[in-house]
A = this chain, B = another copy of it.
Amino acid sequence: MSEKVLNVGLLGFGTVGSSFAEVLAASGRMDIRITHVYNRGIERKKTHERAKFVPTGAVWTENVDDVLASPDIHLVVELMGGLDPIEGWLRTALNAGKHVVTANKQLIAYRGSDLFALAASKGVQLLYGAAVAGGVPVIPGMSQGLSGDKITRISGIVNGTCNFILSSMETGADYGEVLKKAQAAGYAEANPSADVDGFDARAKLCVLSRIALRAEINPDDVPAQTISHVSAIDFAYAKELGCTVRQVSRAQLDGEKVSARVGPMLVPTTSPIAWSHGTQNMVVTSGKFGGDVVFSGHGAGGHPTAVAVTSDVLAIAEGSAGVRLPAHKVQVSGDVLAPHYLRFIVKDSPGIVAAIAGALAKVGINIDSILQHRGHTGDRLPFVVTTEPCLSSTLEKAIADMTKMEFMVEPPQVMQILVVDDRDTD
């Protein structure tokens, strides 16, 4: 490949696409050239401040077939996102013997296994290092550097928006306020559901699980809990428990089954997962032989994501095939054995603790601690119960009972408590 030029067709010239043009240009590689740029409203795109990083003479087009059908293009870089129509476009590209580099987490999470098989059958590469954690090389790092281990668990902070919101709330801000601030700063969408309700994170978790656990998981099967019910008071209690609150994405292999979950969890401040602030991403893998490995950095933004895309393009230009790690479909359960945090808002009256303790005892769950801060009014009295390790499915039965109790002002906020247990290796 070093003798000839690798011609690149770029789909999407938004923040990431235009940053890719800049980062690729900065690499100084004369043997890799963007020859086509597809986008809607292409005349406006040609005036983008980063359009200058696209080589003179490149074709700017609103007709995707100019890219997909061009016999001159060796590699298609897709930076648009979403399943439809992208899946069809990239199938066309792969079928035509073009390599594909994409940052599309949904596509890889939902259609990855089919697309990898198609790429392999055509003898081309499909790389997607930017699909999770942007500029943090967790995908190439795991594929190339941890393939020798038996990874049994993957935990991470893979949604920068939620991490921005929750790490801001740590210092006292209110959920609604911080969300508005995140929206104003461009970290959160007008409709923040994909982020705060965990749908973005669970697609990423499935992409990582395929590499780390060799497990094909359907994102729709992974329980996702919203962070929108986390309140300032949860941070106060979490602190008392030596923890903070983060949106954690977590998948664990137990024999042939995977338990997976995305949602707000209590994270001990001694855990690497608590280190992430702002929009940072962080992934921790736990391997049988290598123990815990941490990857951390800027998970989003045009430039960091463009670094991952450019690195994939360089790998293809160098003839470095990705390591193919065979994965197979596995059954997913959202059921986790863990200590849990239950926060109640109650109307003060006698017998509350007895009623809650009774509901837990009925399903055989032991209480670890009961915490109650002073200074709240009797109409909306918050208090917290932590449990010894229990199955989340068992706990849900007790929660269903409790939710009906007369003194309960709002449904209890239930969060898993992460336990730090890096195993002693060697």
Contact = CB atoms under 8 A, between A and B. Distances in A.
A148 B307 contact: yes
A254 interface: no
Given A321-B320, A425-B303, A145 B140 contact: yes
Nearest to A282: B294
Interface stretch (A20-28, A54-62, A198-206): A20-28
Contacts of A26: 150, 288-289
B293 A135 contact: yes
Contacts of A138: 141, 145
Interface string A295-322: 1111001111011111111110011111
Contacts of A288: 26
A129 B143 CA distance: 13
Q: Which of A19, A288, A290, A425 has the most CB of B within 10 A?
A: A290
Lowest 3 CB-CB distances: which A-B pairs, in order? A137-B145, A148-B310, A141-B141
Give the copy number: 2
A413 to B, nearest CB: 29
29 contacts: A26-B288, A129-B144, A129-B145, A135-B149, A135-B290, A137-B144, A138-B141, A140-B141, A141-B144, A143-B144, A144-B320, A145-B311, A147-B310, A147-B311, A148-B306, A148-B310, A148-B311, A148-B312, A149-B310, A290-B297, A290-B298, A290-B307, A291-B297, A291-B303, A302-B426, A304-B426, A318-B323, A320-B322, A320-B323
A324 interface: yes
Given A137-B142, A141-B137, A426-B302, A148 B287 contact: no
A305 to B, nearest CB: 9
Nearest to A151: B307
A71 B291 CA distance: 37
Contacts of A149: 23, 135, 307, 310-311
Interface string A73-99: 000000000000000000000000000
A147 B314 contact: yes
A110 interface: no
A425 B145 contact: no
